[in-house]
Structure 1
Amino acid sequence: MGLLRGIDLDSLGARLRAPLHGYVLSLLALVASLVLVWLYASNARQRELQAVQAEFVTETDAIAELLRQRLASYELVARGGVSLFASVDRPSAAQWQGYVDALKIDAGYPDMLGLGFAPYLDRSGLQTLQLDMRDAGQGFYIVRPAGIRERYGPVLYLEPRTPANRAVIGNDLFADPVRQAAMASARDDNAVRISAPLQLGRDAGRPVTGVVMFAPVYRFGIPATVSARRASLQGWIYVPLDMSEFVTAALRTTGRNAALSVRDVGAGRGDAPLLYADHAELAGHGGEGDFRRTVPLELYGRRWELDFSADTGAALAARMPELRTTLVVGIIASLLLFGVALALARTESLAERKASLLAESYQRSELRFRNAMRFSAIGQALLDRKGAIVDANPALAAIFDTTTDGLVGSMFGAYFVDGQDEIRRSREVSALTEGVFRTTRQWRTPAGELRHAHLTYAPVPGEIGQDVASLVQVEDITERVLAHAREQALNRTLEARVALRTRELTHANQELESFAYSVSHDLRAPLRTIEGFSRLLGERYADKVDDTGRDYLARVRNAAGRMDDLIEALLKMSRVGRSPLTLAPLDLTRLALDVVAELRMAHPQREVAVEVEPGLHAVGDAALVHNLLQNLIGNAWKFTDGTPDARILVGAGEGSGEQAAFHVTDNGAGFAPEYAGKLFRPFQRLHNQEQFDGHGIGLASVKRVVERHGGTVTAEGRPGEGATFRFTLPREGAVD
């Protein structure tokens, strides 16, 4: 008891509780950190699951877009065939084969079974086609299935000419309801369409499931109405596609994890036949935790649904190492926190330990800098404030063909051709105070070769007691400089070639003009001879020639006169494109009224109501614009002949940007809309000579005048309802 009295029990308990309290706090910190690690791992797993799902969505969207782009490429192939028919009324079998061979279907389009053309025929058209092919020595063209139908769509061309494709020639695609639906939709909508799923034969014993793409081909451009499209349809370019090969080719370059099946749901969601499905090893996903997604595609009149599925467990398993690493790191961090809590009492020891770590870090940083400098492929050197080399790497020694020991202590600028330039050295030193400085210098090798270097100066601090001011990098750019010089020489050569070609083109144009005038003179001389002798023959020997002979002589003279008029019209159109362009502000109202006055004087017997809007202004060449109005108003005057209450309107339209719009409208004979594109071609006439005279040059001249002013011209009309010609010219103030 006496011993116990000498001991302060409270202080003893406090000393015993102090370490216990520290252990409890450390243990609580450990438990709390482990709980946080578990929460973080749970959240990380959820984030990984969301990331996997996002990747799944991205992958499925990318696959859908690849399929869409693949179909778009076949649309371009089909429209290329349409363009061929636009340039040729109906290509021959050899022309069609040449076009398809140029596409290299076997190499670029393994899923395309062929590229063909099916004409759109009625009964008489089919008979005519069969007779033409028989007369051409191509044998009998037999259409299958047999029978009499109102319309036919038989296969005429199908390339490449494989045995399977040759067997298809003559099949009436329009007789099949599935194909007919797509063909009729393409015809009426003027759009590319694909059919519902079809069995396209067998390949190596397997049934080929696919679709057929149809692109309509019209005569005389694209009609505006459905009835006009049906009347002017020439046929269809069609592309049969193997769906299995189609999907394989489209997704060949993708690393795909999701299983895919494609169904055609048509216009609704009833029966949805299967177009494509992956093999069993990809399509075997079906667990409750799998990702599933359906992507709809609206493609050329059909609706496809892409069903995707992916194994969630497999996707997460690929990311589990990262999750496990995160968990292990979290546990280690918790243990470290536990250790830190135990070591709080040893602050001094911890400070010493940190100081040791900082010293080691500094040494490592110094070592990294030295190694980076030593093993760099670019020459580097440390310079003092006077420009002497303090340290250098082997790459710099190799550039100057010396050793690193030989470089140390030497003046850096002495190695360059302009090394003794004090002004340059002072400029480089002063630039270093502002930051990084770059320049180019030259030096000579021991062999006497002059080489170029790109120098980069950067200020760096040195160690205490050392006079290190900057780090300089030296890069040999001799080959780059020589390449740039060669490039400039090549550019000068190209400029000289362009100038030479320009002079040659100018000379060719001058020769072409001389040729045109020479031809016109040489043609007119025999024409005048024909006309003169025909007139003398008719005058002097009229009593010896019967009425038929006199009629023949009159026809010869008329033909010679018309030929002379055509030559004169051609010369006028040539002058329109050759004359220099002098732009000035123009009063189109006054010019139009002058043209109308000339027409009234030339045809006083005509009663035509002409209205010219006031305030029509533009910028252009006065002579050319007067020629333009003469042709447009003269055309309206001519084609209203015989029209009761003939009316002509010259007015302004809605322009855009720097172009002002105008129009000339009449209520005369008009023209069919599908022939509007032919009006502006030379010698293209939509009415016969007996009905309305002319040479077919006027509107071609109008187009040249408008285009020389940077504008456009269009025509609208209907038979018996008149015509409207719209054109644009530069606005006032738009041309300096």
Structure 2
Amino acid sequence: MLGAMGFLYGAKKLDLPGAPPRVPLRGYVLALLALVASLLLVLAYWHNAEQREMKTVQAEFTAETDAIAELLRQRLAYFELVARGGVSLFATVDRPSAGQWQGYVDGLNIAARYPDMLGLGFAPYMDRTELQDLQLDMRDAGQGFYVVRPGGVRGRYGPILYLEPRTAANREAIGYDMLTDPARQAAMIAARDTGTMRISGPVRLLQDGSGQGTGVVLYAPIYRFGTPGTMQARRAALQGWIHAPLDVHKFVDIALRTTQRHTALTIRDRGADGNAAPLYADHEELAGADGDSRLDRTMALDLYGRTWELEFRSDARASLAARAPELRTTLGTGVLASLLLFGIALVLARTEALTERKAELLADSYQRSELRFRNAMRFSAIGQALLDRSGVIVDANPALAAIFDTTTDELAGSRFGSHFIDAHDQARNTREFAAVAEGVFRTTRQWRSAAGELRHAQLTYAPVPGEIGQDVASLVQVEDITERVLAHAREQALNRTLEARVALRTRELTHANQELESFAYSVSHDLRAPLRTIEGFSRLLGERYADRVDETGRDYLARVRAAAGRMDDLIDALLKMSRVSRGPLKLEPLDLVPIARDVVAELRAGQPERTVEVDIEPGLHAVGDAALVRNLLQNLIGNAWKFTADTDGARIVVGREADADGLAAFFVRDNGAGFSQEYVGKLFRPFQRLHNPEEFEGNGIGLASVKRIVERHGGTVSAEGQPGGGATFRFTLPREAPAA
């Protein structure tokens, strides 16, 4: 360029005779201006191309993040199905044994199919009495002593009872009370009150010995006799939870292993207080990415009562580097075209500028639309295909190829209907395409997999508007619903099995009641006859042959008669306790104050010489069976009356405590002999006594009857005391009559 300028300057300056004619300066100036303008246009075009590629990278980044979020959601949906399968097992069996639970979990093959799920377990929802009963049952069954940790007395327990597969880490987790952990407790209580599955916030996994792992726990509530309609009923009917601890890092890596990632991912759990706790973070860093070249996006996923905040990051320059050869080719071609069209660059530049601006807008709009559509097909977990007017596949996504066990290249060009078992039903294919022309059309069809398995699919046809003469006429979505169909069939079979079991258990219960009545009749008649014979002959022997029997013999006869009398009392007690468990409940509103006063009046009439201060608080209202509640108060107040016999200033208090879980809470307190708290577990068992018969009479049936009466009303009973310091018995009854 400089040489040409120098040549022009010299020619103008010399202007010698006989020299070649001077080249007009204006022509070179215009040519140089045209060259400069064309080069600037090429540079502008290259810059615009780079910007378009940057927009393409941003669109791909958005599509990839959407796909990642959907894959995480779908992975959690698989775990929900596994947990609900455990809930269904409890619907068929009141409480499966450890062997049954192990068989169920082994059938799921969790270690191979769900390595990010560290186990599948069951945690019962119990009070202290139920926990002690469970511990005694397990010890009596030879399963060792079931230890709950951390220790301490609590109102409710949620310890891990089953956790499979039975690895060393899972065995160590047995007995851990998850209700003591605030994060686990919040999810468990939410699942209990809503009747739906809930996921916890970040917790330290029990299976991680280092204590560095981050995980979450999925909880599915289990209720007795189905899910109640109200929160109070759900709290009362809760049996426990199916829980599944998840390793978040493994969960994310497995969920995203089918996609090629170009973004860095960070997951935070945002609680109700607005604070975010880290759950997952990629180890890779965006080296060299500044604020202009870094792509950021934040999404919120609402998952089972928690909100996961997904933060994505990507280096746009690194993505553009892969497209650098194309950009360099564009730049080189533009410069070459500028040099070749040197003479007409100025005229073409103006035209090209106008055309380029219009083409850029059209190309950008078309590219965005095409990219959105292609990415929607490519990243969709549901099979999709574009069909022409003859039903031939024009294009298909990888999900559809996975469904038919083939590749997208083999699907292209094949007839869509030929992949189903009724491929030769031409009438059906015609009806389907006719329905597509009128709008969205849904139907179901079947096909066989490469292994010969019969599969079910739901098809959704939709017309695709386009340009005249376009080969694409419709879009069809193919969703594999085989598991849904099989689950529905299993549910129906389970319902039939459950109905049969209910009928069988009803017959067994009727038969058991009949046997119980026969047993009671035998006890009241057949067993009493021999006792009367023993007592009568012993008495006659003592009266008629008293002079022939020495003092030792007469003592033996007295012991025989006393033992026969105690046996008769035990038979009476057994009959009374059997009547407590039989007969329908007649629930009605009750005022416990007059009932308690009647009981105290009877006790005072039986022992008028005793002076006992009895304080009965007003307003003791509840719902229950009048006869059974009277029996309940007779036993509790009678116990307090009996064990204050040797106490100066004997005092008995009958009162009410704060209600809880829809139940009215009451207590009976005395300042009598009391008992040692370490033997409280024996109080409510038949024939278990903590005092010698010589001190206080009784047969050990009263408190066992109290426990049965309270449990028949859906309540609980507990006791506490200390030797010489009196005792307090607490029990609960329904506060309101159940809804019809």
User: What TM-score, normalized to structure 2?
Assistant: 0.49
User: What TM-score, normalized to structure 1?
Assistant: 0.50
Point out the structure with max Rg over C-alpha.
Answer: 1
